[in-house]
Homo-oligomer: A and B are copies of this chain.
Amino acid sequence: MLLTRHPANPIMLPIPASDWETYNTFNPAVIYHNGLFHMLYRAQGLDWVSRIGYAVSKDGVNWNRMRRPVLEPQDSSDSRGLEDPRVTEIDGIFYMTYTAYGSEYTGKGKPTHNGAGVLPMIVQSRNLLDWERVGPLVRGEDNKDHVLFPRRIRGKYVALHRRPPQVWLAESEDLVHWPEASMRPVFGPREDNGWDSLRVGGGGVPIETPDGWLIIYHAYDLDHTYRLSACLLDLEDPAVVIRRPRSFILEPRELWELRGDVPNVVFSCANPVVNDRVYVFYGGADHVIGLATATLPEMLNFVLYE
């Protein structure tokens, strides 16, 4: 496996005595900004609702958390929780994408999740702490794992999103309207390849390199084991896959990846690059947070030649 786990793992645990992060802290967004790692993480407390907490770190390993969440449910569209955040900086504004899980379902299709629905939401902030809604990427379908590219491409905002079982692309002039005509599938599961045979979804913010957009993604198989891998998308048309190795870069092996709230899961929403090193932050078994890294040249070597 390409990624090396940090010896201090897991780097973040739930806090039993905290009402809102009692049970699980996992699947964080992490952005490196102004000399610090900033984490926005999913937490589940006594009511099992997912809220977004904030933590800050100099090294990505030792974190100082805020006592209260920074983003919580506001209405029936997200009353069951805010899940799996990704944070992208575009032109000095921070955008968070997360899955809003609502008790009511207002879409045009069938309810997606046990009679309720999900919305792939986008919110924005100037300071990473105070967030306001921009809107959902789409409505009325089972769509999540959406993440914004860190710059406009050919003049448009671009996002990866997930229409099961594939990763899709979407484009927008304003981050509010995402025309159906702009949506195209990018890559999907590989039935003959074992670990990614059933479903795939995007990870953290796409990494711009001279060779293309480096994408870290998750996939699972018939056993529902979640693994991570990487691929390379075209710089000017990210719907085009340049290369996608057949192997993975991380799979559940540690006890805290094998056992937790959902067993056998490594799931990443964050891969910031600091000093040419890719920091892959990931949820272990939907319960704790781990860190595994590789250098950017190692990652590029993997996607280009593995």
Contact = CB atoms under 8 A, between A and B. Distances in A.
Nearest to A70: B64
A36 B56 CA distance: 17
Contacts of A115: none
A91 interface: no
Contacts of A129: 36, 56, 64
A129 B59 CA distance: 13
Nearest to A15: B67
A66 interface: yes
A168 to B, nearest CB: 34
Main secondary structure of the interface of A (DSSP, over half): loop
A34 B66 CA distance: 18
Interface string A60-72: 0000111110100
B34 A126 contact: yes
A35 B66 contact: no
Interface in A80-134: 126-127, 129-130
A126 B35 contact: yes
A87 to B, nearest CB: 16
A36 B126 CA distance: 10
A58 interface: yes
Given A35-B130, A36-B129, A64 B66 contact: yes
Interface string A1-42: 000000000000000010000000000000000111000000
Given A34-B126, A36-B130, A66 B68 contact: no
B127 A35 contact: yes
Contact of A56 (B17, B65, B66): B66
Contacts of A56: 66, 129
A67 B63 CA distance: 10
Given A35-B126, A67-B67, 5 more contacts: A35-B130, A36-B127, A36-B130, A65-B66, A66-B66
19 contacts: A17-B17, A34-B126, A35-B126, A35-B127, A35-B130, A36-B127, A36-B130, A56-B66, A56-B129, A58-B130, A64-B66, A64-B68, A64-B70, A64-B129, A65-B66, A65-B67, A66-B66, A66-B67, A67-B67
